[in-house]
A and B are shown apart, each in its own frame.
Chain A
């Protein structure tokens, strides 16, 4: 069974610091990796996707992928109180795919003003 593991938190980070969120996955055939942000009671919102080993940056967000270690992470620089949310990692074996996504249970991030 495919599994995606995340530390549930809460992860508390001071405002302005770097928040580091981690995710491991069990399926070595995984091809596509996504990070979603979900505010309490709201729907998930796509933040980043990454397919290749290494780093991918988009504004204050950086996704990092290491397929050999089956590990994907999300860094949030200059953390703001509005970044406080649950962050979901999602993985699929479909290349560039929306299909067959397996979601982690999420990490609850709290940015302290």
Chain B
């Protein structure tokens, strides 16, 4: 089954404790992206990657890092999480940057709480 898999689904952590949210897709997609969703603010892009070893900042990259060492994986790293990073996070992928379907595949989401 074609899918984007995120882990963990839920995470409660403390301020400053480094964490990684994993994202993996099994569709050989070139384009992957991370979004956060907050009430009243909607979905905002954090980082994206157009292919292996090619990443770039989205609209709200501060406090986050990403890497794309393999085509299938695109982890999101929070080096020193803060309470304002409490949010619902989505990883998404598409065949390419120019995929006519837009961002067609989203992961299940990761609900992160930083206390």
Contact = CB atoms under 8 A, between A and B. Distances in A.
Contacts of B106: 43-45
B104 A42 contact: no
- Binding site secondary structure of chain B: loop
Contacts of A49: 100-102
A55 B15 CA distance: 49
Contacts of A92: 102
A17 interface: no
A96 B106 CA distance: 18
Interface residues of B, number: 27
Contacts of B40: 105
A34 B102 CA distance: 7
A49 B100 CA distance: 8
Q: How large is the interface on A (under 10, 10 to 19, 20 to 34, 35 or more residues)?
A: 20 to 34
15 contacts: A32-B100, A42-B108, A44-B43, A97-B97, A97-B98, A98-B94, A98-B101, A98-B103, A99-B48, A100-B45, A101-B102, A101-B103, A103-B42, A103-B43, A103-B44
B96 interface: yes
Contacts of A94: 97-98
Nearest to A96: B100
Interface in A38-71: 41-46, 49, 51
Nearest to B32: A98
B109 interface: yes
A27 to B, nearest CB: 14
Interface string B88-114: 001010111111111110111100000
Contact of B108 (A43, A51, A98): A43
A46 B102 contact: yes
Contacts of B101: 46, 49, 98
Nearest to A99: B97
B31 interface: yes
Given A42-B109, A99-B50, A99-B98, 16 more contacts: A32-B100, A34-B102, A34-B103, A42-B108, A43-B109, A44-B106, A45-B106, A92-B102, A96-B98, A97-B99, A98-B31, A98-B92, A98-B94, A98-B99, A98-B101, A101-B102
